[in-house]
Copies of this chain bind each other. A is one copy, B any other.
Amino acid sequence: MSVPSGSRARTRQAILDAAIEVLARNPAASLGDVAEAADVGRTTLHRYFPERGDLIAALRAEATARLDRAGDRARLGEGPGGTALVRLCQEYFDLGDVLSLLFREQVEDEAGSCDEDFDAMVRRGHADGSIDPELPPVWVQNLVWSQLYAGWSYQSEHGASRHDALRLVLRCVSGAVRPQP
């Protein structure tokens, strides 16, 4: 069972990866497009994800899993709030397609309810003076997401390098949340 599981898990992951890439660029892409991008027959895709909803559910799970791992790496609990926020942006930035996929699919799970750790981080920033107290945590979350999306599109549509895009994102995010004189 574990032997075929190796093969099964591999193709399943290939389908998910392809789906992330394809659906990030065009949320209305057909399953045929996804299958083709995954180098897999449409039949095989249906074998793993019987309905379209099953695929996007798995996609959502995969995306939030990556998101959580990125959140862990950012160590939101350490250092000043503003510094932790910048670390989080760095980690999120590398999620690439996953980012815009979640952004376009309007994932309220993460963006709406505002993660607990994120909330605590922003409030800590309010207290230690590294984040403007007038900015609610939810707003900061919105801010981060839209900035990351801007950076992503700056990269993909204006041929900017990853380094430049990331630099601009971090600069503008930190500038936006910094308390005003």
User: Which residues of chain B are within 8 angstroms of A177 by Cβ–Cβ distance?
Assistant: 172, 175
Output the nearest chain B residue to A27 by Cβ-Cβ distance.
B28
Is A138 a contact partner of B154 (Cβ separation < 8 A)?
yes
Is A138 a contact partner of B158 (Cβ separation < 8 A)?
yes
Give chain A interface residues in 147-181, CB to chain B under 8 Å: 147, 149-150, 153-154, 157-158, 168, 171-173, 175-178, 180
Is B112 a contact partner of A157 (Cβ separation < 8 A)?
yes
Q: Is A146 an interface residue (CB 8 A)?
A: yes
Q: How many residues of A contact B (CB 8 A)?
A: 30
A106 to chain B, nearest CB (A): 8
A173 and B149 alpha carbons, distance in the complex (Å): 15
Is A172 a contact partner of B150 (Cβ separation < 8 A)?
no
Partner of A142, one of B28, B135, B153: B153
Output the nearest chain B residue to A138 by Cβ-Cβ distance.
B158
A138 and B180 alpha carbons, distance in the complex (Å): 25
Is B175 a contact partner of A180 (Cβ separation < 8 A)?
yes
Q: Is A48 an interface residue (CB 8 A)?
A: no
Q: Is A93 an interface residue (CB 8 A)?
A: no
Is A150 a contact partner of B154 (Cβ separation < 8 A)?
no
Give chain A interface residues in 27-42, CB to chain B under 8 Å: 27-28
A158 and B28 alpha carbons, distance in the complex (Å): 26
A145 and B154 alpha carbons, distance in the complex (Å): 12
Which chain A residues have a beta carbon within 8 Å of chain B's beta carbons? 27-28, 104, 108, 112, 132, 134-135, 138-139, 142-143, 145-147, 149-150, 153-154, 157-158, 168, 171-173, 175-178, 180
